[in-house]
Each structure stands twice: as structure tokens, then as C-alpha cells.
Amino acid sequence: MPLKAETKDLQSKLATYCKTGEMIELKGAKQDRLHHYRRLTYNILKESLSTAYPIAKKTLDENEWKEMIDSYFKEHKMQTPQVWKMPEEFYYYCVDKNYQEKFDRPYLNELLFFEWVEIDLHTQEDELIPLHKEEGDLLEDILVMTPEHHLLSFEYPVHKMKGDDLMENKGNYFVLMYRKSDTGAVNFINISSFFALLLQNMIDDGTNLRDSIQKTADTFGIEGEKAVQHSMAFVNDLMLQGFILGFKK
Amino acid sequence: MVSGVGLGFRREIARKLIALEEDKPKFIEFAPENWMKMGGYWKKKLNEATEKYPVMCHGLSLSIGSPDELDFDFLKDLKEFFDIYNPEVYSEHLSYSKCDNAHLYDLLPIPFREDAIEHVSERLKTVQDYLERPIAIENVSYYTPVAAEMDEATFISEIVKRSGCNLLLDVNNVYVNAFNHNYDAKEFIDALPLDRVKYIHMAGHEQVSPDTIIDTHGSPIIDPVFDLFEWTINKIDPVPILLERDFNIPKMGELQEEVNKLQTIVDKVWEGENASKS
């Protein structure tokens, strides 16, 4: 026997009430108890989003944050069965609704994205680390990087400033965010545009540091030897910080 | 089969639980949805914990009572997860948490109706076949019935009978529902197919108004629920018992005391002078 249309409708009405908070008459229900379901489901959503986006929540005023959550719960159909992944859908919803323009907070999308990527990196499934050795030639060998990383670019320095300071510091910012393979902690480093492109070239081309420096220096019109010195210091630091794991075998 | 009292594996107590050398719970339980498709630090912790303790899994998002289609992508992930962690029991809630293609992440009450019994039973059979393992279905706490055609015990019993699933008896939920809906908890338990109980949950709750208790898992178990637990386990064969604590999680020592209190009752009933039932 398939589920009757009436039963489906009853279930749908209760679920819709939870999402919208708009009171319903539900056949055979204790009307004065229905609000518990709205409260419980709403609180789970609110807590999950507050935990995922603590800086955005603090940056926005209370009404703005509430409006985003209420609309999201009401309009969006949450697809993931894993509640800890649900905040990613919230990010895309907010971008789609263009809250940053509505609230005149042009950094909002970047801030939400930055906060979500940190969670995503911390929790993403482990990737295989290529075989590598600890000793090698920094310039000539292929460097092995921790596979769980993102190279990010922002117009607003959401990784190091908050609130109004963000508005006053519009520019070009590059951030290397990665998960340390030993502790699982997520680190992020503010890097220059040169080093961002250098890392991108190394990742995309699979080339050694010397060739990647040359390509990057050509793009920037920088003299090669000077770029080598700076890049070696940068890469040494990335080794110390656990992003570069060693030299490909 | 694991016996005795286990504890919910939560991030707040993960490190303590892994490090525990004495007075350990007999097993741990976790929600697969909270750990599936996850790497990094927490996967390491989960692996450390599962190397140390037997495992039970208690699902959150199967939404067995949903009017929506079953989510086979989710079931595939679940099956792969079970292949890795091999839980001794997989349990889920007799409720729905997804409707109109949207997850709500909490447990909504299924109308106690004949068509819902058939719908849920067929889905349980499908899921059990797909996962190649039995499901123990949990009696959930609910704050209002919806257009009920029968009582809760009949609804649950029929689903267990028709689907061939097992029963996770949540004693605290029985207490909560009995209070909220003015029925007798012991009569309710007597009306269930107790031979199908394969797992028991125990937890605390919060009374939010003179006539309403909410199943919060945020407080210690109260004495009347301990009493109902002892009365209940006198009627069934030994099964694993879980202490659930999801909010206001206290220090490990307090949780261990609560686990030990349950274990003392279990030992008295199932290994002591009242053990003739088993």
C-alpha cells in the first residue's frame, strides 16, 4: 500500500511549518505542542551555521544574520544528509541572494567562503601523499606539498581583519591555506602575488622550483637570480611550516 | 555480541575516551552521518577509538518515515562506512527528518496510520536488503501525535512484525512520551515485541513546562528512568545498553559514574539473582 496523499500532506505540512514558522492547523495534532518542532529544527540549523561562520555572525548585525538564516531555512531545500556539511549550502545560498549588496557589506561572500574553506580543509577526506624523501635539492628536485590545500585570492583581507577595517583595506590578497598532515590543523599564510603564482605554477606544471621561478619571474618581469633567492627563503619557510613535505622520490 | 554499557562517542570527550585505561565503557556508539566522508584529525581520532572499542552505529538521516524516495547515494556511502567500521548494531529512528526534498536534521513524528506502517515496513526491508544487515529501529520521543489511527505501541509493533527489523528500546523516550501523552510507561513497554529488543538507549531529559518534557540528552538520567530501566531489563534477554549524552557534556568521571550505575543494574538483573529470565 503506497502512502496515502493525506498522510503525505500531513507530513509535508509539519515539515513546512518547521521551515517557515508559519502556523498551521494539523489534523489530530496538539496545536500547542507544534512549536517545539519549529524550535528544535530551527535551533539545530542556527547552531550549525553559527558554529561554521562565527566571524560572519559577529561581523553582521543581529537582524542581518537572522534574516539570512530565516530565509535560508524557509526557502532552501537542504540536500546533504550530513548536517556538518550543510553550511556549505548556506554559503552558496547567500551568494545567490546577494546579501553582500543588500547589506552593503561587499566582503561578505569572501568572508563566508574563507570560513567554509577552513572547515572543508579540516574535514575533507585524506588524499594520498606522494612518496617523498626528507633530503634533496631545493631547486632541482620536485617538491611534494601537502595535498589538502587551497590557494585563495581575496579583494578584502578576510583572513586577518574584521568589520569596518575590511572596507578600508580593499586590495589584492593571496592566502595559502592547508591542512598539516601530522596534526590535522588548518594553517593559513598571507603570501604575495608572486609566491601565489609560483606555487600555482609548481602545482599545475609539476615542475621543479628553478623552472617554476623562471616562469613566474618572466610573468612578473623580475630578474631571475633575485627571484631565486627570495623564493628559496619562501620555500624553506613552507617546509618549516609543514606545507612542503619533502622531495619527490 | 557485546554486552554491558557503552557510551556515545562525541568530539568533546573523544580524547579522554581514547586515553581511558580503566573503567572503560564496554563499547562506543556514533552517528555515521557525523563521520562519513571525513578525513584529517577527526578521522584519526575515530580510527583510534574504533581500534580500542567495539562499535555501534546510530543513524540520523535515513528518514525511514519520509514520504520522499529513499536516498540510495546516501545508502551507498553508509554501506561503505559500515564495511570499514563494521558496527555490531546499526540503529535508526522511527521518524522522518527529510520531506519535500529538504533535510531538517531532527526527528519528526510519523502519523500512526496503517498506510505509514506499510510504507515504513517496505522501506525498512529495502534498506536492510541493501545494507545486508538488520536495522534496530528506535521508538522516538514525540511531542504531538499527528492524525493517529492507532496507538504508538501498535504502530511500532506492526512495523517490527512486518519489516522483520529489530527494536532499539529507548527507555527515556518511553518515559518522556508517557509523561507528555498521559499513558502508562510499563503498559506501553509490555505491549511491545520485547523479544525483538536488541539494543537499549538511556539518556536524560528536560521538563520545559508542567505538561511537557523534551528529550534533550543534556542532563543526567533521573531516578524514575533508572527504575523503569531496571523494570524493563527484567523482561528481556541481555542486550547492549548505551548512555547517550549530547549536550552539556560533563567531565569523563561523571559520565563513568553514570555508566557504572547502569552497569550495576545490568549486573544485578542479568548476572545476579534475577538472571533466570536469560
Q: What pLDDT digit, counting tens, does each position of A95-117 carry? A: 999 999 999 999 999 999 999 99
Residue B245 lies in a domain: yes
User: What ipTM did this prediction achieve?
Assistant: 0.95
Q: What is the pLDDT of residue B275?
A: 52
pLDDT in tens, B20-42: 999 999 999 999 999 999 999 99
Q: Is B241's pLDDT higher than 70? A: yes
Contact A15 B113 (CB under 8 A): no
Report, in angstroms and rounded to the nearest whole number, the Rg of chain B calculated over CA atoms. Answer: 18
Record the cell numbers describing residue B65, joined without a space. 518515515
Please name the member of B43, B146, B212 whose beta carbon is closest to the beta carbon of A10: B146
The grid cell for A68 is 539570512
Residue B274 has pLDDT above 60, yes or no: no
The helix (H) or strand (E) run that includes residue B243 is strand B241-243
Comparing CA positions, the residue from B31, B56, B5, B16 lying closest to residue B250 is B16
What is the rounded average pLDDT for all residues in chain B? 96
What is the rounded distance in angstroms from the CA atom of residue B20 to the CA atom of residue B7? 12
Q: What is the predicted pLDDT for the residue at B57?
A: 98
The secondary element (H helix, E strand) that includes residue B209 is: strand B206-209
**pLDDT in the model for residue A2:** 84
Residue B57 · residue B32 · CB < 8 Å: yes
CB B110 within 8 A of CB B116: yes
Q: Could you tell me which chain B residue has the CA closest to the CA of A39? A: B106
B276 pLDDT tier (thresholds 50, 70, 90): very low
Q: Which of residues 207-236 of A touch B (CB under 8 A)?
A: none
Residues of B in contact with A79 (CB under 8 A): 101-103
Predicted confidence band at B226 (pLDDT cuts at 50, 70, 90)?
very high
A72 contact residues in B (CB cutoff 8 A): none
Judge whether A142 is closer than 8 Å to chain B, CB to CB.
no
DSSP tag of A131: P
- Chain B partners of A16 at a C-beta cutoff of 8 Å? 100
Q: Are strands B102-108 and B55-58 parallel, antiparallel or unpaired?
A: unpaired
Q: What is the CATH number of domain A127-249?
A: 3.90.930.50
- What is the structure's pLDDT at B85? 98
Distance CA A48, CA A43 (A): 8
Q: Which runs of E-coded beta strand occur in A52-205?
A: 132-133, 143-145, 149-154, 173-179, 186-191
Determine the Cα–Cα distance for residues A155 and A167; give it in Å rounded to an integer. Answer: 10
- Nearest Cα residue to B172 out of B141, B144, B197: B141
Check: CB of residue B12 under 8 Å from CB of residue B271. Answer: no
Q: How far is B101 from chain A (nearest CA, A)?
A: 6
Test mutation, A8, A45, A120, chain B, max B CBs within 10 A:
A8
Give the model confidence (pLDDT) of B133-185 as tens digits: 999 999 999 999 999 999 999 999 999 999 999 999 999 999 999 999 999 99
**DSSP-based three-state secondary structure for A4:** coil
Contact B107, A21 (CB under 8 A): no
pLDDT at A225: 85
Residue B37 phi, psi dihedral angles, 5° rounding: 60, 35
Angle at B182 between CA B180 and CA B186, to 5 degrees: 105
CATH of the domain at B197: 3.20.20.150
Candidates A1, A3, A37: best to mutate against B (most CBs of B within 10 A) is A3
Angle at A151 between CA A148 and CA A156, to 5 degrees: 130
Give the whole-angstrom CA distance, residue A215 versus residue B126.
57
CB-CB neighbors (< 8 A) of A76 in chain B: 102
**Is the confidence at residue B277, as pLDDT, over 50?**
no
pLDDT at site A163: 83
Residues in chain B: 278
What is the rounded average pLDDT of the residues A52-69? 97
Residues of A whose CB is below 8 A from B119: 1-3, 7
User: Looking at the predicted structure, is the pLDDT value of residue B220 above 90?
Assistant: yes
pLDDT band at A224 (very low <50, low <70, confident <90, very high): confident
The Cα A129–Cα B175 span in angstroms is 51
The answer to whether B40 contacts A184, with C-beta atoms less than 8 Å apart, is yes
Burial (CB count <10 Å: 0-12, 13-18, 19+), residue B112: buried
Query: In a 10 Å sphere around its CB, with 0-12 CB exposed, 13-18 middle and 19+ buried, how is residue B51 labelled?
Result: exposed
Closest CB from A3, A78, A124 relative to B39:
A124
Counted domains in chain B = 1
The tens digit of pLDDT for each residue in A136-174 reads: 999 999 999 999 999 999 999 999 998 878 999 999 999
Predicted confidence (pLDDT) at residue B95 exceeds the cutoff of 90: yes
- Residues on chain A touching B71 (C-beta within 8 angstroms): 81
Query: Can you give the residue ranges of every domain in chain A?
Result: 1-123, 127-249
Note down the domain range covering B201.
Answer: 5-272
